[in-house]
Amino acid sequence: MTARTFEAYLSANRMCELGMHHAAGRPCHSVLPELDRATR
């Protein structure tokens, strides 16, 4: 996950969000608000 840079780091739930933030060292966000934003 740290080998590449992505536009967004998305997670399925809060625990996943925390784990991904710890693993990637980048802020992760819930997929639901991002999906809502992308479909407007």
Tens-digit pLDDT profile for residues 7-38: 888 888 888 888 888 888 888 888 888 889 89
d(CA 18, CA 40): 27
Residue 12 has a pLDDT of 87
Residue 34 has a pLDDT of 87
Burial letters for 26-40: b for 16+ Cβ neighbours within 10 Å, e otherwise? eebeebeeeeeeeee
In the structure, what pLDDT confidence band is assigned to residue 2 with cuts at 50, 70 and 90? low
What's the predicted TM-score (pTM) here? 0.56
d(CA 16, CA 23): 10
